[in-house]
Structure 1
Amino acid sequence: MDKMADGRTLRLIEVRARPGNPAQGLLIAGNLVLRCALGKGGISAFKREGDGATPLAAMRLLYGWHRRRRGVAAFSPLPFRAIRRNDGWCDASNDGNYNRPVRAPYRASHENLWRKDGLYDICIVMGWNIRPRLRGRGSAIFFHLARPGYPPTEGCIALKRADMARLLPHLNARTMIRVRR
């Protein structure tokens, strides 16, 4: 793994569940070890839609969204765009846009990316079930901001805002997050 102190981008980030609490993890990024939240279903090698698990997998960071006027600057070599009020992500496995961004209102079940709680002020799409996209294998697996106290996510990986801000300059489209048990 590259060390962040030398200014290079990170090629590999490892995430592991904390012993005794499968919904919380340790994120190892170069010379940093950071606390993170994981899915309420722990880590699963058999990820399914709605199981709340974080996939046991290696996933590329693809691109992200940021929320303007929330005090977060999306400074990163990753491509970012501003979240709009009608941005969503389809989680209906029988829909043609399953596990893809959509515009709300949308006819099928979807998650709104414009959130009041600030979790998606920084939201990075990870390469889970993107290509190929298999129905029912899980959607909206993001790298985003954590709630205070690191309560479980719905399957995503979440960091506190200060830790995310520290990592952003070192992330690019070649960065891989490997989730292990």
Structure 2
Amino acid sequence: MDIIVQSINSKWQVSFGNKIWPCTIGKNGTVPAKEKIEGDGKTPIGSWDLTKILYRADRISLEQRKEIGKAIEIAPLCQRDGWCDEPEDPYYNQAVIVPYTSRYEVLWKEQENTYDLIGLLSHNSDPIIPGRGSAIFLHVAKPDLTPTEGCVALELNDLLELLSLIEEQTKITIQG
């Protein structure tokens, strides 16, 4: 069974089986994956593997981690984790240790909780095409489901529930 991300009556939602949660996507809507451009603020349409879950151990409890770590690899974040978003860098769209020599996104955020829990999506990962989009995640939403830079985001409790239900072969399908 797949996770489906779609717009219903102009509101974005995530569904898995008979469960439905509100979500948000990129501030500039969706785009076919082959047309995705780094920094365009769009969420790529397609079906992606959920390859790994990252979490902040100081904000996601052991009990919560036990629920979400059943079907997919789960690993803690550390303060020096980052994600390279510089298309010219050989580690583009990959995890890096920060500070890093090229442009990167910090995964350990002090002032917000958006990356307290991250599902890594396989978008632009095999092969990685420079400039085709990086750091496309399933993560915690900002208050009021503020749009993202291209990710899919849910409220923390909804994301925890969703990740507790997934199976090993679950994909996330983003519809346009």
TM-score higher than 0.5 = yes
Aligned to 1:164: 159
Does residue 1:40 correspond to 2:27, yes or no? yes
What residue number does 1:131 align with? 126
Aligned residue in 2 for 1:64:
53
CA displacement, residues 7-41 of structure 1 (integer Å, 9 cap, x when unaligned)? xxxx3011113444xxx511111101110010011
1:49 maps to amino acid: E
Asked if 1:17 corresponds to 2:17, the answer is no
1:59 and 1:70, CA in 2 relative to 1: closer, same or farther beyond 3 A? same
- Alpha-carbon spacing, 1:109–1:172, altered in 2? closer, same or farther (3 Å): farther
On the 8 A contact 1:78/1:173 being kept in 2, the answer is yes
Shift of 1:103: 0.3
CA contact (8 A) 2:6 2:13 kept: yes
Kindly tell me the number of residue pairs found equivalent between the two proteins: 168
CA RMSD of aligned residues (A): 1.3
Letter in structure 2 aligned against 1:40: K
CA contact (8 A) 2:60 2:117 kept: no
* Distance in structure 1 (CA, Å) of the matches to 2:87 and 2:137: 17
3-state DSSP class of the match of 2:145? coil
Gaps of 5+ in 2: none
Aligned ranges for residues 86-97 of structure 1 at < 5 Å?
86-97=80-91
Q: Larger % of helix: which? A: 2
Residues 57-95 of structure 1: per-residue CA shift (max 9 Å, x gap): 110100021001214432322111111000000000000
Question: SS of 1:166's equivalent?
Answer: helix
TM-score when normalising by structure 1 = 0.88
1:172 and 1:63, CA in 2 relative to 1: closer, same or farther beyond 3 A?
farther
What is the match of residue 144 of structure 1?
139
* Contact 2:86/2:102 (<8 A) preserved: yes
Percentage of matched positions with identical amino acids? 35
8 Å contact kept, 1:57–1:179? yes
SS at 2:23 equivalent:
strand
How do 1:66-105 and structure 2 match up within 5 A? 66-72=55-61, 73-74=64-65, 75-76=68-69, 77-105=71-99
Pick one of 105, 110, 119 that aligns with 2:104: 110
* Structure 1 residue ranges without an equivalent (≥5): 1-10
Superposed displacement of residue 169, structure 1: 1.8
Contact 1:63 / 1:173 at 8 angstroms: preserved in 2? no
